[in-house]
Every structure is written in structure tokens, then in C-alpha cells.
Amino acid sequence: MKEKFVAYIRALQNTITSELEKIDGKALFREDLWDRPEGGGGRTRVIENGSVFEKGGVNISEVHGILPESMQQYFGVTDANFFACGLSLVLHPVNPYVPTVHANWRYFELYDSNGTLVDQWFGGGQDLTPYYLFEEDAIHFHKVCKKACDVHSSDFYSEFKKKCDSYFYNAHREEARGIGGLFFDYLKNTESFSIEAWYDFVTEVGDSFLEAYLPIVQKRKNISFQKAQKNWQEIRRGRYVEFNLVHDKGTLFGLKTNGRIESILMSLPPHVQWHYDYHPEINSEEEKLVKILRSPIDWIK
């Protein structure tokens, strides 16, 4: 399974970066190949200073070795040998009317001291973080997510949408990071759903990403904006940074397993603002977004 999924994320990285370069029309991805001393490595691709994307990364990694004791405790396991691979992407647009997007699809294996596979699971998802709310964009993104889920189970969209709303939540701010999407983890082999079936599901979601995001980019990338809208985008980016550094499990795993720092922190935007006790103007489009982020919306209905 690990060879199969590694081949998938390598091909998906090529597809996604190629399509993003086309829609940007100016910037190209810079590629870095890196090795992890403890075992494995990855292929990082970063785009910067484009006409559409101010900064973004589409990274794949394949790492293995001994799981640090802190992570053994975190996962609640005593089997210390692991393999992990995945594709992780974050795109921060130039235009405040284009949303930031995040996606990740990953696979994990644990082995005993004899090298025997003792556990395996998939995880991942995709979610949208707008700075200005266009309801038709939110509906489109969620409809694509639901369509991918429904191929495998009519229950998956509602289940993984709720998990996304719960996970991407800045508890210290009492607000969501964005308008959600899908989040799933620990998708394991069961009597009702095999690991092969989970592979089919996760790759279905991965294959849906461009359909979910690119039409929104195309529709919003040329809307004119002023300094005030850019300031708001950078203030909201601060909330994005807070989540990734305080709450995100993927960031924690990368830091605890001696991952490549530049690749782990590529999710952070280049320009961010924090203002003391900032509140948007009453009845403004900015306040409308904040109100939505305080209570999850059923975008399909």
C-alpha cells in the first residue's frame, strides 16, 4: 500500500503544480529535493510572487525511522518504527477576494521490533479560508467535496464535514479558521471498509481538489481591491498562523520528528498583521465573515 500511495501523491503533485502554474501565468514552482538524516525525504515545491499566488507550497514527503517517545505517547502506541508519506499544500493568493486553501492526504504505518506491520491508516482533507465571503464559492467547494464522498458512502460528507469544522477551530478565538470542507484521520482496515477501500476514497478526494478550488480562483482573481482589503486579508492571515503554530497536528508531527523546517513552515503567509483588540466595522463585509466563522454553516442546504 505504501508504494501505491507514494506513486499516487507523486503524480498528484505534478498535476496540481502544473495546473496552478497555468492559472497563475507568471510564477513557476521552485523545487527542492531533501533528505531526512533519520530516514526518508521529500520533494518541496514553492511558488512565490506570482500574479495570482503570493506564496504557496505543494509538498510531498516519505519519512521513516524510530518514532520519538513524545509521539509514541501522543499516538498511544509502543511500536516505535514508522513510515509516513503524504502530500500537503497551502496556497495564499495575492487578491483578498480569492480564498486561501489547504489540503493534505497522508498514509501512516507502524511496525513492531521485527519489522512486522502492526497498524496502518489514512488521513487528510481539504478546507477553504476566505477573507471575503461569497456564498456561491462556499457552496461550490462543499458540493465538490460531497460529490467525492458520495461515491463511497452517503454518510461520509456529513461526518467528515463536522470533523473539519471541529478540527480547524481556533478555540482561543472562539472562531473557525475558515468555512471548512473535509477532515478525516485514522481511516483503518475494518470489516466494513478495507484499507484498499480507504485508498480509493482518499484518492477520490485528492483528485477532486482542482475541481473544488480552481473555478473559485478563476472567478475572483481579477476583482479590483484597495489597501483596506489587503490589510483585512493580512489580519485574517494572522489567525491562520495562530492555528498552524498552536493547534495543527501535522505541524507538531513534523517538528517532533525532525522534519525539514522550511517545508513544515511553508504554510505560513509572507505578510501578516496583528492589531491589538481589532474589530471590523459593524455591518461590514468583514464583520459578516467573522459572524459566519463563529457558527458552522450547512453550505449544501
Whether 130 and 213 have beta carbons less than 8 Å apart is answered as no
Whether 263 and 135 have beta carbons less than 8 Å apart is answered as no
What's the total number of domains in the chain?
Answer: 1
188 occurs within a structural domain: yes
pLDDT at 294: 94
pTM tops 0.85, yes or no: yes
Q: Is 92 marked active-site?
A: no
Per-10-residue mean pLDDT of the chain, 301 residues long, equals 97 98 98 92 96 97 86 72 95 98 96 89 97 98 98 98 95 94 96 95 98 98 98 95 84 76 83 93 96 93 85
Nearest to 232 by CA among 286, 169, 293, 170: 286
- Residue 286 contacts by C-beta under 8 Å, 6 or more apart in sequence? 132, 232, 280
Nearest to 143 by CA among 200, 199, 211, 197: 211
Nearest to 30 by CA among 43, 39, 11: 43
Residue 93, domain extent: 2-293
202 occurs within a structural domain: yes
Q: How many CB atoms lie within 10 A of CB 298?
A: 8
25 occurs within a structural domain: yes
Burial of 58 (0-12, 13-18, 19+ CB in 10 A): buried
The phi and psi torsions of 70 (rounded to 5 degrees) equal -60, -35
148 occurs within a structural domain: yes
47 occurs within a structural domain: yes
Kindly state the cell numbers that stand for 145: 467535496
Domain of 259: which CATH number? 3.40.1500.10
| Residue written as grid cell 497555468 | 22
pLDDT at 79: 67
300 occurs within a structural domain: no
Catalytic residue among 102, 152, 172, 279: 102
SS3 assignment, position 17: helix
299 occurs within a structural domain: no
301 occurs within a structural domain: no
Alpha-carbon Rg for the chain in angstroms: 19
